[in-house]
Amino acid sequence: MALARRDSSHHTYGDYLGWPEDLRYELVDGEAYLMAPAPDLEHQDIAGELYYQLRQALGDGPRRPFVTPVDVRLPKADEADEQIDTVVQPDVLVVCDVSRLDRRGVRGAPDVVVEVLSPSTAFHDHGRKRRIYERAGVQEYWLVHPIDRMVTIYRLVNGEYGKPAVQELKGETAVGVLPGVVIAWDALVARLPPVEY
């Protein structure tokens, strides 16, 4: 199942700001994709726990974690906000450079992005969003697979994502660009509902 496109027009953040607030969209190279309805509780539990662990680990320092909805504007050059045609809302993100933060959200690449996959977003997150995060310079891109109980981690090396690391949601996973920060999985996975195949 794929996310529905709003229409075939090319859109910018200026257009996006004028749309009704009851529907959420992401812009990828000017294409507006209707975001899926509210995710299930498993998705929210995972996203909330990852945010909580990151917030605890990072404390009150300048590195800031956020949980959706937060607009992340990804300019291709130095275009004005209203002309940016890629705006996404990752499930969880960390920004180390506070100059990228403003009242509207984030302008520029976060350092870490985490997407919790669902059947309706998996193609979008694995394909389109992976390409735009790589292009924008996101240092680490995590895809958490709730059903498979796996995490796929892309790390930017020389401007490209190479072969991803794939790990079971077990024990701890270090966040490579945040020295000393780890995500602990066992307690989280223990409280998730059993997987139904």
**H-helix or E-strand spanning residue 182:** strand 182-184
Chain centroid to CA 121: 11
Three-state secondary structure call for residue 28: strand
Domain-located, residue 149: yes
DSSP 155-170: EEETTEE-SPEEEES-
Domain-located, residue 13: no
Domain-located, residue 179: yes
DSSP 88-149: E--SEEEES-GGGEETTEEES--SEEEEE--TTTHHIIIIIIHHHHHHHT-SEEEEEETTTT
CATH number of the CATH domain containing 138:
3.90.1570.10
pLDDT at 1: 47
Output the six-digit token pair for 127.
């394909």
Read off the DSSP letter of residue 40: P
Domain-located, residue 119: yes
Enclosing domain of residue 138: 37-191
pLDDT at 169: 97
Backbone phi, psi, residue 134, to 5°: -65, -50
pLDDT at 126: 75
Whole-prediction pTM: 0.92
Q: How many domains does the chain have?
A: 1
DSSP 46-79: HHHHHHHHHHHHHTTSS-EEEESS-EEE--SSS-
Domain-located, residue 107: yes
Domain-located, residue 19: no
Rg (CA), the chain: 16
**H-helix or E-strand spanning residue 17:** helix 13-17
Three-state secondary structure call for residue 39: coil
Distance CA 90, CA 138 (A): 12
pLDDT in tens, the chain (197 residues): 456 667 788 999 999 999 988 788 889 999 998 887 666 788 899 999 999 999 999 998 899 999 999 999 999 999 999 999 999 999 999 999 999 999 999 999 999 999 999 876 666 677 789 999 999 999 999 999 998 999 999 999 999 999 999 999 999 999 999 999 999 999 999 998 887 75
pLDDT at 14: 95
pLDDT at 128: 86
Domain-located, residue 150: yes
Domain-located, residue 1: no
